[in-house]
Structure 1
Amino acid sequence: MSSERLFRWPSLLAVAALFLVWRVLTIGTAGITLHVDEAQYWGWAQHLSWGYFSKPPGIAALIAASTALFGDCVLGSKALAMLCYPLSALLVYGLVRDARDARAAWWCALAVLTLPIFAWLGLAVTTDALLVLAWSAMLRLYVDALRDDRLWRWLLLGLVCGAGLLSKYTMLAGLLSALLHLLLCERQRLARPGPWLAAGLALLCLAPNLWWNIQHDFPTLRHTAKITVERDGGGPLALLEFVASQWGCFGPLLGAAFIAALPSARQRTPAGDFARLLLCFALPLWLLASAQAYAGKANANWAAPAFVPASILAVLWLRDSGRQRWLWAAIVLNIAISAIVYHGSAVLRAFGANPPTPYAQVIGWDRLAQQLEPWLDAYPQAIPVAGNRTLIAHLQYELRDRQLSVARWNPDGSVRDHYELTQSLTLPPGAPLLYLSTAALPSDIASRFARHEHLASLATGSRGPGTTRRLEIYLLDDFQKP
């Protein structure tokens, strides 16, 4: 096989398949179940709607399609989300191949495939999966629309951006990134209908979700605004921690190459034009997330889509500056980081150590639910109730075969999470309650019932620090008005 044939898309597809198989095997051998957010999203997928408490409907639709194809098991729930990252790399290949050449495109796609942040997110089903895919498609279609100013290309771009908005409102930053690039580099395009029709169609796609919010007193918009402006620390140290997390998510060498590549955007050449475009789709989102970190809170994944254009810029700079060995080293290092995260704790345990596992939050819920089943059978008339969304999400997923529904204890009628919105128990009916908790029965709940009995304390075995799951079961009867 010639070297040029090696750098065509079939070989990239084979590499992407290998990384996907690696992630599937990692999930299968780690003995993990769904994260609380994943379990909640799975619950959403059982009742498709145009909106949910904390997110637009894209993630629920994705899981519904995934489970229809692959079943409700852990891998079946995650399957289509896991595919989003290899598909994003293939979109990067097409983008860079048209802008530069197939060899450069192959390396850019490989860099995206091996990013530590996507290695970690690639094990889960999150809103970032569809968002990163939509962002990658937006970037590709935007460049195509600039190159061939046909109306259908702009309309297709608008549909993709609309799909991104239905996954996560962060996609609005993508629309602003495109506007920024048009203002800085393609101002004459703003006099044409294409960009405006694309933006209008994207917002039109979001309209059903906005209408759902209106009907339900804006829960998603309120939640998004709250986590955007809430103060939970903040300041220079929080900003520094966020920047450090982004460097780790990028990989040390590739992150350094991105910083070194920034001056290339000043060049008045086709390469400089492409660099400016990439920066317009990376820096604004990072600046927004950094501002959120300084103001109070920003999770490492909040700027996940920015890594796609940033990786392209870093790889092209390494290749253009003759640093191919550094590119090899950057990718090998990122693969090593992923391997350490995936398997490091298991390897140490094989040598007798007891290190914390990165999967601590997703271990043991299946075994805890199995222990609960006999108590549900013993008290079939009792209504299962819990005081937090973590228990409700996990138990409803793990006991999905019996279609368990757990009510959310919520005597004041407030709406602070999805279950308070949809499964709230404000006034107990005449039937007894089976109250489920990770701690002792709160006195303010016990005082509302004439009879309450502690039935059992359940616990799972430990598979490392933080992996033991506990559950207290109480029988409550004869509700007394406070």
Structure 2
Amino acid sequence: MTIQNENAQWTRRALILLTAISLWRLLYLFIVPLDLGPDEAYYWDWSRRLAFGYFSKPPLIAWINALTTALFGATSVSVRLPAVVLGGLGLWGLFLAARRIYSAEVGFWTLVVWLATPATAALGLIMATDVLLICCWSLALWTLWHSLEDDTFGWKLATALLIGIGTLGKQMMLVFPLLMLIYLLLSPQDRPQLKRPWPWLVVCGSLLFLIPPLWWNAQHDWITFRHTAHNIGGSNPDMLARLATFSEFVGSQLGLLSPLSWLLLVALAFSLLLQLKKLPRQTLYLLCFNLIGLIGFFLMSFKKSINPNWPAVFYPAGMILLAAWGRGALNAGRLDRLRRFFNPAWKLGLILLLAGYLLPFVSQNLLDLGRKDPTWRIRGWQEAGRVTAEILAQQPHSDKTFILGIERKHAAESAFYLPDHPRTYRWAGDPPVVSSQYEVWPGPFDRIGWDALILSDSGTPLPPKLLERFSRVIPLQKKEIDLGGSLPRRLDYYLGENLKSWPQRP
């Protein structure tokens, strides 16, 4: 069999796999008993007030939510549909990158090991900024490698556009051009490209996409930059705390990627690092887009807690390396004796993936995990919306009563699941502490004299300064939302009568 025919066969297998997983994800949207999570509802609420930027993220997720809900209505399926589409597009970009760098066979097995992880299941079903980021990142890995091998201007332009669009999705995309320049600097074969204009034009062209969020931030006290700096900053005070956050980080990555796959990938990456000067060009390329970022998060995890999803963007290149090594297209010296664990690794990941898909059904009927259930926080919100609507209708001035959440999740979920999707508000303290988009938007200054239906988690007392803003605050009801296990969602409802004033931001 010729190499061309073999590549065609593996490409057909990849297309069949991608079609099957995309159709399954689409079906899953309709059958899964899960509501929109707090972050999904929060980003959807952004889409009702379109802007060039938002408190914590660039604007692309809000723009996409606005488009799909305008076309299909404000439903959980329409909000999550782009995750299925963009998740599939990102997988195809990853396959194309692996096929171009190694072969279609490596591309197919890259899809297998990447799909056989619990994290990828979430990426294809939950509408979050990581979906946009990883889609653009995977496609840019492909177009950038083409740019290095093909002098056609179109590949350079495509790379700049993908970096730029990805930057509008999540700030982490700004790392991509930096890693591109690091690779060009380290690669003897491609270092001469730094003397050509195209790498610098790619960087500058992609940065033009930052103009809208920069303009918005300039008008809002650079709030996104200050929020991002806060996430990066901070440090644990003692060694025990540092070891705890490092262990927490490692544990989260083992769970997201499946234990054996992650351990093999980390071992492979560090083994290749020891051979840095002798690495083939394509291996060095992928290592730059994988290990540099992981090392950064390893070091950061000794300083502070790391959100499990933060390093996700560095795994696509790593999955190509793992698949190439597992299929014998890449050698790693003494580590090659562990190649026999490649098949058990992706098979274990597949078992965990299937368990993840079944968990929402099992946890409601057979297995009671309580708060340890990863789906706990995204269940019960539709029922909570129904309960909230009933309590709202019972109030003496329901047409002059607005929804006030003590936490961001209360405001976002109520906005999505209440009939007619009312505008909701969040109490942020007095003076207000800007910790979400709800504080960037104007408070209920046009609701002075109205009543407020106040939501909080049970057991959370209302802040005294909030009570002062109303003529009277009356406890209404305590509600338990059945989530299918022994641990319900408990909400307290209060009626704030006659809003007298609202605190101004300093």
TM-score by shorter chain over 0.5: yes
How far 1:275 sits from its partner (Å)?
1.1
1:473 and 1:9, CA in 2 relative to 1: closer, same or farther beyond 3 A? farther
8 Å Cα contact 1:134/1:163 also seen in 2: yes
SS of 1:472's equivalent in the other structure is strand
In the TM superposition, 1:311-390 aligns within 5 A as: 311-320=319-328, 326-344=341-359, 346-347=361-362, 350-351=365-366, 353-356=367-370, 357-377=373-393, 378=395, 379-390=398-409
Q: 1:279 to 1:127 in 2, by over 3 A?
A: same
2:212 matches 1:196: no
Match of 1:42 in 2: 44
Which of 283, 300, 303 is matched with 1:292 structurally? 300
Offset at residue 348 of structure 1 (A):
6.5
In structure 2, do the counterparts of structure 1 residues 469 and 84 end up closer, same or farther at CA, with 3 Å as the change threshold?
A: farther
Give the match for residue 413 of structure 2: 394
Count of residue pairs the alignment pairs up? 479
SS at match of 2:453: strand
Native 8 Å contact 2:95 2:104 kept in 1: yes
1:450–1:478 contact (8 Å) kept in structure 2: yes
| Stretch deviating more after TM superposition (31-40 or 105-114) | 105-114
How far is 1:58 from its partner? Answer: 1.5
Q: Determine the C-alpha separation between the residues in 2 that align with 1:436 and 1:67.
A: 26
CA distance in 1, matches of 2:355, 2:166: 32
Match of 1:436 among 455, 479, 488: 455
| Shift in alpha-carbon separation, 1:433–1:232, aligned structure 2, 3 A | farther
Unpaired segments ≥5 residues, structure 2: none
Give per-residue Cα distances to partners, 1:139-162, cap 9 Å, x unaligned.
111100100133332222111101
Deviating more after overlay: 458-467 vs 30-39:
458-467
Question: Using the alignment, how far apart are the partners of 2:386 and 2:265 within structure 1?
Answer: 49
Map of 2:247 onto structure 1: 240
Aligned residues of 1:453 and 1:475 also touching (Cα < 8 A): yes
Query: What are the residue-to-residue correspondences of 1:25-174 with 2, within 5 Å?
Result: 25-174=27-176
- Write the distance in 2 (CA, Å) between the matches of 1:480 and 1:56: 32
Label 1:208 to 1:319 Cα distance change in 2 as closer, same or farther (>3 A).
same
Name the counterpart of 2:218.
214
Identity between Structure 1 and Structure 2 (%): 29
Which residue in the other structure is 1:450 paired with?
471
Residues 354/189 of structure 1: CA separation in 2 closer, same or farther (3 Å cut): same
Q: Can you list the C-alpha shifts for 1:93-124, whole angstroms capped at 9, x where unaligned? A: 22222222222221122222223221233231
Task: Tell me which of 277, 294, 299 is aligned to 2:285.
Answer: 277
Deviations 1:224-279 (A, max 9, x none): 1111113478512212321232233232332233244334563877x722111101
Is the contact made by 1:38 and 1:126 (CA closer than 8 Å) also made in structure 2?
Answer: yes
DSSP-derived class of the 1:295 partner: coil
- Structure 1: unaligned runs, 5 residues or longer: none
| Distance of aligned partners of 1:73 and 1:446 in 2 relative to their CA distance in 1, 3 Å threshold | same
SS at match of 1:424: coil
Cα distance change on mapping 1:471 and 1:366 into 2, 3 Å: farther
Q: Secondary structure at the match of 2:497?
A: strand
Displacement of 1:346 in angstroms is 4.0
Of residues 251, 256, 259, the one that matches 1:249 is 256
Residue 183 of structure 2 corresponds to residue 181 of structure 1: yes
Once the two structures are superposed, residues 290-317 of structure 1 have per-residue CA deviations (whole angstroms, 9 ceiling, x without a partner) of 2332221211110111110101101111
For the 8 Å contact 1:408–1:425, the answer to whether it is kept is no
What TM-score do you get using the length of structure 1 for normalisation?
0.90
Deviations 1:334-354 (A, max 9, x none): 110112233247447655x52
SS of the residue corresponding to residue 164 of structure 2 reads helix
